[in-house]
């Protein structure tokens, strides 16, 4: 399958949970997942408990494809969790979809996970040696089996013990028959926030845009290393000691998150605007018009144009109805798959020196096609401005960055990338500029930009295909 999304960093999942006795929790979760659809488009699932047992509906597809009104009516209960997923390997059956539901010593449990464990294989082997049975290859199933392994303890304590064993990146929503729990890894690598609905119901979500959708008021972000427990007694919290400095994925601000979300106190749209402002200070160029690549380039395009005092225009239209490009095009047809998503407006471009603002370049294939299309539509000059530093290193925390051998900035110096893409000039935002925009003191992971991996990566085992080419030593070398 050729998919233009492969030329972007891809988020793996979005999670949502609601403790809402008296509410239609399945429908609210459906709307919450719909708001998080940008975080994963390959599968969706909702699990609901009525206090006695857990019902689940999940399948391959978009939220609107997986759930009919009838499906939602069958999911009656007081607590629900939901999940949307993107997978590097492709999801072919409902078995790979989440939430995962199982029974253990304390009763029924459902779990949905965003992130990736760096010691998943090691833990899986240990658990399998002790008799655990696995149905899929997901890290999330490792979590569920670990919870069962510590099943003689109440769920909160089991989760605490799991957090000591697991390494990597995770935000979880977990549901028992009478509790909703939210867990954020000790580095806070993935976002997770808490909201409250007027009647006293609580909501957990990967992004605040999902809280807005279900009319929940933002309460706060879950802290790194925190377990939030929501039940009939209200909301309580437990914490494990931080394992290191906070390391929220900086790409949430660059590309993943929806611009209307606020994560750890920073509004995504404003962060992108400031990235554009910084880029204009670092790389002022003389052009007739600044055009953003929608949607993630919009705010930084405005920031760039305002700071550089240049004319801004939406010269590229995004087709809002294309979720995925399924057909495998020939080389000649690849342009069509770019055009399907991004179509230039000739009147705005014709005869102009154009600065195009995009959020990032991964392999460079889409940028190359885009520059070609802009020229065909009359642009006299095309200057590519990227509102993030070059992506040079793979991510081991659950983001699909492509392998290092496919990352154009890991392979070619700037001038060669510029030449490959066919732009008149190419400018990236510096890492200092990026930190000025988001505020470095907040604590970020920027490993794919600088090779400094904040969460330890054991060599080889359990890291998936990307890691096999890099031993710990090599990771250290990359960081230099
Ligand atoms: S390596 Fe990059 S994509 Fe992965 S968590 Fe860190 S900043 Fe995010």
Interval 16-50: pLDDT, tens? 999 999 999 999 999 999 999 999 988 999 999 99
Atom of ligand 1 nearest to the CA of 249: 8
1 has pLDDT over 50: no
Question: Residue 99, preceding bond cis, omega within 30 degrees?
Answer: yes
Residues of the chain with pLDDT > 70: what percent?
Answer: 87
Segments forming the whole domain that contains residue 424: 268-438
Q: pLDDT of 348-374, one tens digit each? A: 999 999 999 999 999 898 899 999 999
Distance CA 305, CA 295 (A): 16
301 lies in the same domain as 217: no
| pLDDT at residue 61, as a whole number | 92
Check whether 86 has a pLDDT greater than 90: no
Is 258 within a domain? no
DSSP-based three-state secondary structure for 203 = strand
Mean pLDDT over the full length of the chain: 88
Domain co-membership, 421 together with 285: yes
Any domain includes 327: yes
Residues 222 and 272 occupy one common structural domain: no
DSSP 8-state code for residue 275: H
pLDDT of residue 90: 57
- pLDDT, residue 105, reads 93
Per the listing, tokens 């471009």 go with 349
**What pLDDT is recorded for position 405?**
79
- Are residues 225 and 276 located together in one domain of the fold? no
The pLDDT-based confidence of 465 (bands split at 50, 70, 90) is very low
Q: Is there a single domain that holds both residue 142 and residue 21?
A: yes
pLDDT in tens, 306-355: 999 999 999 998 876 655 444 445 555 656 667 667 889 999 999 999 99
Is residue 400 a part of any domain in this protein?
Answer: yes
Dump pLDDT digits (tens) for 396-448. Answer: 898 877 677 789 999 999 999 999 999 999 999 999 999 999 987 889 999 99
**Confidence class for position 471, pLDDT limits 50, 70, 90:** very low
Report yes or no on 452 lying in a domain.
Answer: no
Alpha helices in 344-430 (DSSP H): 346-349, 365-376, 408-411, 414-421
Q: Kindly state whether residues 320 and 228 are assigned to the same domain.
A: no
pLDDT tens readout for residues 170-215: 999 999 999 999 999 999 999 999 999 988 899 999 999 999 999 9
Looking up residue 205, the CATH number of its domain turns out to be: 3.60.20.10
Number of H helices, E strands in the chain: 19, 23
Q: Would you state the pLDDT for residue 130?
A: 87
- Please indicate, yes or no, whether residues 276 and 411 belong to a single structural domain of this protein: yes
Residue to mutate, 399, 431, 435, ligand 1, most ligand atoms under 8 Å from C-beta: 399
Strand segments (E) across 387-472: 425-428, 444-445
Q: What pLDDT is recorded for position 456? A: 86
- pLDDT, average across residues 94-115: 93
> For residues 80 and 116, is the Cβ–Cβ distance under 8 A?
no
**What is the whole-number distance in angstroms between the Cα of residue 379 and the centre of ligand 1?**
34
Nearest to 308 by CA among 343, 336, 281, 289: 281
Taking the C-alpha atoms of residue 188 and residue 434, their distance in angstroms, rounded to an integer, is: 19
CA of 446 to the centre of ligand 1 (A): 6
**CATH number for the domain that contains residue 391:** 3.40.50.2020
Please check if 359 is assigned to a binding site: yes
pLDDT reported for residue 91: 62
The best mutation among 251, 254, 403, 435 to test binding of ligand 1, ranked by most ligand atoms within 8 Å of the C-beta, falls on 251
Of 29-33, 52-56, 446-450, 454-458, least confident by mean pLDDT is: 454-458
Residue nearest to atom 2 of ligand 1 (CA): 448
Number of domains making up the chain: 2
402 lines ligand 1 (CB under 6 A): no
DSSP 283: S
Note whether residue 252 is domain-resident.
no
pLDDT in tens, 208-248: 999 999 999 999 999 999 999 999 999 999 988 766 789 99
Tokens linked to 254:
């660059």
CB-based contact 19:180 (threshold 8 Å): yes
Res 470 pLDDT > 50: no
Residue 414: the pLDDT is 96
pLDDT band at 136 (very low <50, low <70, confident <90, very high): confident
Both 203 and 69 in one domain: the answer is yes
- In a domain, residue 254? The reply is no
Q: What is the pLDDT of residue 331?
A: 54
Protein residue with least CA distance to atom 8, ligand 1: 249
Q: Which of 188, 290, 191, 283 lies closest to 242, judged by CA? A: 188
Do 326 and 185 sit in the same domain of this protein? no
Distance 453 CA to ligand 1 centre (A): 9
To the question of whether residue 448 is assigned a binding role by annotation, the answer is yes
Residue 330: per-residue pLDDT: 55
CA dihedral 314, 316, 320, 326 (to 10 degrees): -160
Residue 421 lies in a domain: yes
Which pLDDT belongs to residue 472? Answer: 31
| Domain annotation covers residue 317 | yes
Residues 79 and 128 in one domain: yes
Residue 325 Cα to ligand 1 midpoint, Å, equals 25
Q: Are residues 274 and 186 in the same domain?
A: no
Same domain, 178 and 296: no
**CA-closest candidate to residue 97, choices 143, 140, 148:** 140
CA distance 369 to 377: 12
Which pLDDT value is given to residue 242?
66
Does the beta carbon of 72 lie inside 6 Å of ligand 1?
no
193 part of the active site: no
pLDDT value of position 334: 58
């Amino acid at each position: 399958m050729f998919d233009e999304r492969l030329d972007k960093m891809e988020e793996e999942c979005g999670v949502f949970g609601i403790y809402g006795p008296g509410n239609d929790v399945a429908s609210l979760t459906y709307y919450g997942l719909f708001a998080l659809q940008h975080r994963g488009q390959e599968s969706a699932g909702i699990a609901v408990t009525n206090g006695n047992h857990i019902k689940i509906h999940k399948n391959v597809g978009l939220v609107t494809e997986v759930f009919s009104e009838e499906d939602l009516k069958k999911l009656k209960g007081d607590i629900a969790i939901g999940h949307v997923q993107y997978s590097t390997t492709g999801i072919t059956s409902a078995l790979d979809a989440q939430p995962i539901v199982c029974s253990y010593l304390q009763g029924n449990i459902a779990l949905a996970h965003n992130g990736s464990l760096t010691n998943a294989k090691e833990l899986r082997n240990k658990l399998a040696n002790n008799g655990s049975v696995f149905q899929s290859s997901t890290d999330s199933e490792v979590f569920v089996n670990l919870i069962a392994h510590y099943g003689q303890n109440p769920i909160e304590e089991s989760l605490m013990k799991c957090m000591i064993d697991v390494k990597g990146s995770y935000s979880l929503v977990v549901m028992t028959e009478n509790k909703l729990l939210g867990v954020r890894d000790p580095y806070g690598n993935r976002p997770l926030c808490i909201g409250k609905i007027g009647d006293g119901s609580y909501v957990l979500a990967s992004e605040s845009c999902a809280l807005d959708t279900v009319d929940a008021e933002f309460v706060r972000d879950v802290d790194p290393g925190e377990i939030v427990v929501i039940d009939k007694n209200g909301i309580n919290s437990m914490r494990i000691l931080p394992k290191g400095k906070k390391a929220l994925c900086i790409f949430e601000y660059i590309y993943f998150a929806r611009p209307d979300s606020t994560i750890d106190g920073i509004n995504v749209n404003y962060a992108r605007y400031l990235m554009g402002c910084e880029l204009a200070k670092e790389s002022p160029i003389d052009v007739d018009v600044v055009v953003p690549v929608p949607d993630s380039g919009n705010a930084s395009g405005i920031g760039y144009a305002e700071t550089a005092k240049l004319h801004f225009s939406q010269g590229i239209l995004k087709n809002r109805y294309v979720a995925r490009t399924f057909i495998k095009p020939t080389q000649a047809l690849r342009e069509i798959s770019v055009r399907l998503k991004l179509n230039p407006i000739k009147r705005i471009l014709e005869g102009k020196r154009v600065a195009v603002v995009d959020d990032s370049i991964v392999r460079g294939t889409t940028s190359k096609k885009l520059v070609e299309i802009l020229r065909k539509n009359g642009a006299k000059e095309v200057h590519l401005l990227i509102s993030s530093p070059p992506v040079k290193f793979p991510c081991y925390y659950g983001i699909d960055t492509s392998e290092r051998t496919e990352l154009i900035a890991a392979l070619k110096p700037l001038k060669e990338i510029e030449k490959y893409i066919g732009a008149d000039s190419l400018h990236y935002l510096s890492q200092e500029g990026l930190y000025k925009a988001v505020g470095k003191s907040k604590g970020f992971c920027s490993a794919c930009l600088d090779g400094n991996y904040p969460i330890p990566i054991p060599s080889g085992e359990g890291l998936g295909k990307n890691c096999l080419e890099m031993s710990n030593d090599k990771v250290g070398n990359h960081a230099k």
